[in-house]
Structure 1
Amino acid sequence: MYILEITLDGFKSYSVRTVIDKFDPQFNAITGLNGSGKSNILDAICFVLGISQLANVRAEKLQELVYKQGNSGVTKATVTITFDNSNKDQSPPGYSDLNKISVTRTVENQKSKYYINGSTSTAEKVKSLFCSVKLNVNNPHFLIMQGRVTKVINMKPMEILGLIEEAAGISLYQNKKDQTMALIRKKDAKLQEIDKILEDDVNPQLEQLRKDKEEYALFKSNEGLIQENEKILVAYEYFDIHKFLSGSDRELEKKRNERLKYERDITNKTQEVETLKVQLSQIQKQTNSTKEEETLKRQINGIEKSILTESLEMEKLQNSERAFLLIQKEAQTSIDKLQNEINKLIKKITDIDSESLGQIEKDIEQKKDQIRDLEKEVKMIKEGKDNKGSAQEAINKAMTLYQNEIKLKTNVINDAEKDFSRRQNESKTFEKDIQVIKAEIQKIERQIDEKKYELSEYQNMREDKHRIERQIHEIEGEINKMGQVSNLYHFNYRVPHEQFDKRLVCGKLLQLFKIQDSKYEQALEAAAGGKLYNVVVQNERVSKELIQNKCVGYNVTYIPLNVIRSDTPRPDIVQRIKELTQGKARLAKELIEYDPKFEPAMNFAFGNVFVADDEETAKKVSFNNFAKFLCVTLKGDKYNPMGTLEGGYQRNASMLSQIEKYRVSNEKRSELAMNRDELDKKMKRVEQTQQFVDNLKHQMQLKQHEYNLKEQRAREYQQDPMDSQRLKALQDEVEDLKEKINEIGKNEKELLAEIANYKQEIKNLDNAKGNDKEKYFIDKIKQSQQQRDALQKKLASIRDQKNTYEIKIDENKQEIAQYTKKVEDEQKRLQKEISDMPNLSNSLIQNQKLLEQKRAELEKCEGERAKANKDLEVLTDKKLRKEKEIDGLQVELKDHNIFMKKYEQKIKDYENAMNEMLGQHKWIEQERDFFGVAGHKYHFEKINMNQIRDETRRIKDENDGLKKRINLKVDAMFEKTEQQYQDLQKKKETTMQNKAQFEATIAELDELKNVEVERTYKAVNKYCSEIFSTLLQGAMAKLVPPEGKTVLEGLELKVGFSGSWKESLSELSGGQRSLLALSLILALLKYHPAPLYILDEIDSALDLSHTQNIGIMIRKFFQNSQFIIVSLKEGLFQNANVLFKVQFVDSRSTVKRFQVRKGNSGGNENMNDQSMMIQQSKPSNNNKKRGRGGKNDDDDDMSF
């Protein structure tokens, strides 16, 4: 694998697309004047091979690889190398099917791209491709520079042995071995440390974590109880506020009515005062008239007589009315008495009808039936039949009827009991489902409660954010008001170019210091003057760029920190001035705080100015005998040593004061903005938690709905009290039927006994005579008839008594009618008598009014003159009292308004508190319907709120104590520490096993290493001797161990001439030593040959004869490798097969190819047969603009 062609476009000095082709597969040389760009071809090869250390291609950054660093219109550098891959033995893995491999690398905008055969690739893939064919550009054994030859000459024996080991591939192993042994030692120490940590730290820590875990569990339990208690307290507070607000409207309306009453009273009192004023004015106009008084007296006498007559008539009519009322009352009393008697009689008649009369009639019918039965029985007995059988049959029928009814009722009872049992079972099933759902709801509530604290902070965060935003808004408002100060404070400028470092501009001088005490503001402003607005920069280059590029639209004075200088007084002078002024004068620089890096700028503005407390002190500073300085008073007056005095700084606020206020506001705004951003991050996390809680609440609502449905169904299936009553009634009916059956059974027994007696009687009668039998039945019938007659008499007596009651009722009704008629007659008579009573009453009233009027007029006339002054005094006193009452009412109204205002404010405060509670506690909206409900946890009448508060306070105090010592991450720490303990034990065992394996493997590889070093040493020694003899005819060279040592302890070079070995290399000339070093380098390369070698001016220290032999050596020993050599000596490149000459023409490099001798590439051996390697017919797309001249990338300007 070797290079066929190189294409450069925009790379370093190759501004246009340049194709260098027809490389010889063995020996190529590149020559040209210094600075022509010949070494840039080698840089291009390294660039494509993926070099990462740009210093090896003489660049600091990728942009320097572009033609003129991209400043001439060329912004992209491209290099393409085409390799011959026809030798499949040297092909990279995966590319054996290609005869050519093209690799391209480009640089644009500080970014690098790779292409393999036109397809985009990565840097690692390209490096792997070249490393697979021994072309590792970051460890370039194939690249031989002049410096490397010099380095090899001066190597010590162990360094030369290192080259042998590296050639054998041993050095890498040795490095790895040393690293592994160091790692093993480090791991041993670490294992000992781990054992100590386990014993001293981890085990005690695990024990402590167990204790912490118990305390943490107690802490979490207390937190849950605190949250529950606080929830009850919040609910009680909300309930209390809601209760107050519910009655506040009525109370407020009541207070408003009271206020209206106060206002009406004030208005009425005011009107009364006005009336009194009118009356007082009229008193003066009153006059006395005697004739009018006599007329009034006569009129009064006539009226009094009329009133007397009418009063007597009126009294007579009133007596008649009272007599009627008495008669009416007596009649009503008699009527009520008679009516009560009637009611009692009616009740007795009703009792007779319902009880005695009915029962006696029934008994009479029974006796009649008994007589008929006796007659029938006698007849049946005479006919020889038994009538008792029919009675037995009736009893059986009755018992069957009752038993059937009992069976029917029993079936109804069984069905009811089955229905009750089914309902109970289904109710129990629903109860179980309800308990499961209730547990799920409680679980969700616990999850919500766990997040409640975090969510409760959200409202505080939001309020903090609003507060911060309000503060920022207020501060921004203040800053906006200080617009002029803002313009003075900030330094705005345009950046001169993209690479400009803004950190080099420090800002205006006034931005870079703080004043220790505000009382010095005017003095410092007067001391610095216009320097306060000078711009501080790091160096004068920055100020020059800003000025030249006109980056500021106005004139600016710059203070470069690296060049600014100022005369500052010596410390002993400053101390002497302080002693002179008894500390009343201080250097202005001492009154400010600043970063030490701005010391030059502060010295420039404040370094030679003093600030004095008063004028006398300032004069001492400016006009003393040993050192005179400019001094400024606290008022801003400047005392100059030249004898001048400047003032005019008497103003309300100095500019420095405003600037200080602006700076503080700016800093506060920045700090608040940072706090707001931090709150935003926290709120986003809490919002995610809120979303999770909302999902939980939605789940809980679904579960609650399911719970309500189940609970409703359970209530439907619970036993209805009415059902229990119906069941009890049925059971009672069955018991009644059973009692009737028992009663029938008893009657049956009695009947059987009666039948037995009856049969005995019949038997006795059968033995008796016929007259006796008849006599027996006649007696029985007579006995029954006597009982019947007695009952009939009793019935007649009761009926007579009933008739007597009815007659009495009729008599009472007649008396009631008589009393009623009497009252009606008296009422008619009275109405006739009092028909004129209204007219008489109206006349009497009018006369009385007229009498009063006339008497009033008389009294008025009689007392007008005598009482005028007294009335005037009374009215005046009354007016004063009314005015005093008005003042009192106004005071009360004012107090009432104050109370109303406080009460309304209290309502607003309570409403705000309620809204705030609703905002902070979202659960209130869902649970407030249960506040104060009996049987619920919010039944406040059954809760001792003081006890809850005391308990909450006690638990909080306990948790505060726990919080100081508990570990909130104890669960994770305990699990992590325990897992860490187990992992450390496992790692310890694994490390011990690996250590044993490493030590065994290292011992085995050490033996193999020694064998490989010996073999490599022999081969390299042979190649070195042969190459050196070729380069220097008649000379010998060999690698030998130092005296008394082995090959493994070091190697050194020995040289001999004409069979005689030299004792030291110092006997050789510089060129001979360079050849010796080159021989060793090439021998090492020969041991592990690469497909390509690059030699950069390695012949600079060789004479012409030696350089000629290099070409012979290459053709002899490196027939399968391609050499590309850069040289200025004709003796070397004339031995090459192909020569490329580089020239620098029109600010860019050009290349010409010459076929020096016929090699593998073929061609004409004539030196004059040349071909241009430049294709300029059409510029590449990235190189549209062309620059002129410019420096090349070579290091010197030596002529060719």
Structure 2
Amino acid sequence: MYLKRVELQGFKSFADKSVIEFEPGVTGIVGPNGCGKSNITDAIRWVLGEKSAKAMRGDTMTDVIFSGSEDRKPLNMAEVTLVFDNEDHYLDNDSNEVEITRRIYRDGGDAEYYINRQQCRLKDITDLVMDTGLGRDSLSIISQNSINAFVQSKPEERRGMFEEAAGVARYKQRKKESVAKLERTTTNLERVEDIVNELERQLNPLKRQKEKAETYLSLKDQLQEIEVSVLVKEIQKFTEELKTVDQELKKLDSDKVQNEAQMTLNEGKKEELEAKMYQLDQEVNDLQGKLLAAMNRVNDLEMQKVEIDANRKHILESTNKEDLEAKIANMKAMLQDALSEYNDRVERYNETKKEKEELDERTRQCDIASNNQRNKIENINISLHQLRATRAQIKDQLENKSGLSYGVRTILKAADTLAGIRGVVSDLIVPNEGYEKAVGVSLGGSAQFIVTVSERDAKNGINYLKRNKAGRATFLPLDVIKGRTIRSDLAMIATSSEGYLGVMSDFVTYDKDIEQIVLNLLGQIVVTDTLDHATRLSKNIHHRLKVVTLEGDVVNVGGSLTGGSLKNTNNTFTHKGELERIEKHIGEEENNLRNARMELARLGNEGREIHQMFLQKQVSFAKLEVVVTNKMNDLQVAKSEYEALTHQSANLEELEADPSDNKLLDELNEAKRERDALKEEIQYKRDMRMRYVNENDMLSSELRELRATQRVIEKGITDHRIAKTKYETDIQNALNRLNESYQMTYDHALEFLNEDVDLDQAKETVRSLRMRIASLGNVNLDAIQEYEDVSSRYETLNKNRIELREAQDALMKAISDMDQIMVERFSDTFEKINTEFNRVFRYLFGGGYAQLKYTDPDNILETGIDIEAQPPGKAAKLHSFSGGENALIALSCLFAMMSVRTVPLSILDEVEAALDPANVERFAKYLQEYSDKTQFIVVTHREGTMAQCDLLYGATMQQKGVTKLVSVKFEDATQMASA
């Protein structure tokens, strides 16, 4: 191995990049004082690991960086690279050429180290050159100053050079590291043993607590396995029973409504019938008075008629012929009376027939109207059924949150057991009237966001959903969410735009504590009246805000538009408004139904009255038929008698055209007509009253039955509502138990249902397990983990203790082995160097005696090295020697070390400066003698040394403060050295 070249840049006086090529053998570097040739020695020592700034002839390590000159500015970085030929792999590196680089920066003084251009540590470099003869403590790199330091240093300080020569520096470093490691190991062992002893004291109590906790958890697992199935089965059972109760309750409620409606209808009918009966009684009383008067008048007129008829019969029965004309006149009058009565009865007959037909038509029209009314009622009922179904669906969505996502519904159901759940956004804000669509569209999916008191509550909610695999939900923590508002410049533009109504957050009502949530969601949304105004406003503000219209059309940030029908959207706010409208419509339809039923009842009453009148007319019509027949017979008889008397046929048409002036008969006919009409009306009213009486009795009977039924229904409703409340409470208690005890939702608990569990037996098992759990008393569930942690820590530390003890023993053995190796190597090398030292000394001094001695022979590992030297004619006292003698002693030691152990490189900086020419020649000859095994780089002024160099470099400062190196011949070198 040898040094091939040194590359310097920015190091001390080497401002420019300089490359110095070296060859095996002796290379001399010459030059006048102050030209920077010793900086090459400093550079090599610096790269090989020198850490002392003082050794570098500076105050701080950054002093090695070129500090500038009159013509040159200071540099910020110094870098030196040593390139070694390593074909023999003398250095422990696989490369045939090894580059070692050290770089330092002025800013911060940071240093960088590289081996073969790969960044490394300083330690890597010192390890690489350790025990190679290139170490800091070796004599391979020495200067004039270190010559005297070597000879005059303390024996203990001198030892390091011999260790380097003996190749034990690596062992010494390893021993130092091993001793430090042993100290750390011993300290760690003591600490670990203290901890292990403490853990041993903790283990037994923790073990008992752990076993108790494990028993508790085992019982809890058994309890959970059984109780979850019990709770699920109970929930299923109660749910089925609740469904049955709900169905029965709905039927009872429907029956109650129908029963109440029927009672109300019957009571109304009864009151109406009683009023009509009272009215009929009053009318019959009045009519009876009129009938009595009419009958009296008929009687009076009939008596008058009887008298007239008797006179006529008397005249007819007279035998006087002179009375024939009177007889004919009376007979004609009688015939005319018979004809008049017959015509009167026929007229009444036809009138009655017409009235009967009219009543029949009215009955038919009333039936048609009743049928129409029934159809109307049926349509109203259909409409009510649809409206109620829609209402039930919307109520289900609003009350049971069926329109919300599964995760949101799960959280709301568990809100009683999860802390800090305020509710969903859609339940916490109320849009102003007319803004439901706009608010719903503005919120979109965020209407389902859940508001929580704190971020921790939100995290608990998310963990609850994860445990139960119950979907996802978005949470808005009140302590985290901050409101957002419109920038003042955009607000000013929006306010002045046509159609602008305001900011969406201004059109909702909410509690003060959620104001930041509302502002966050709605504080930056603008509201306009129409889409045209919305697009213009959005353009005015450069599409930086969302703009929403009252109809729910949207101009998004960026300018995209969203709109269309909202029919199928799930908007909670429109649902609320729709529910109000449906409720109002249902009320209107129910009122229409009542009115329709009342109208149907009125038509029914009217139909019955008309029918009764029709029946009465039929009776009158039948009677009149008999009367007309009788009057017809009377007319025929009168006609026959008239013709028999006159002996000529009677012309009834002429008689009818020339009626007699018989006011009495006309009055009598009119009186009879009035009497018969009054009788007919009284009979009709009496029949109607009787009908009303019968209906009233039937209604009274029905009302009694309805009231009795109502009491039964109301009792049934009360019982079913109590049962419903009980089942709902039982279900909620079971759900709460699942949630509180096992953090499960019902859906999640279904996964653990054991269908084969006998419910009664399982309940008994649950009670037994609960008693066993209660008997355990206080249980520390953390003891299981604590025991595992302590036990694991104990096992780990106990293992560490064993390993530390083994490591301690191994380190002590390693230290002992290294001590033995170092003693053997150091002693062997020392003896060899001592022998060579005396030989070299005698050669260099031309006689005398020199030897090396231990200061403490019994402690080879720490003993110092003393030098005894006696040049010819002098006593052996080192402090009395001259500088040249000290140099020869040091060089003797150096060459002795080289004789024992080959050093690949030796750098000598003016070490022979104090020698006389004869000793310089001896010194130079030694260099040549060892140059086949050792590469020498010599900084010198002496001709004798220069003469033995294979290669010479001259150091000059052509530019002040900047060193340049040039290859020179021997003659030029002597001139440069003497300059």
TM-score normalized by the length of structure 2: 0.41
Q: Of the two structures, which has the highest relative contact order with CA contacts closer than 8 Å and spacing of 6 or more?
A: 1
TM-score normalized by the length of structure 1: 0.35
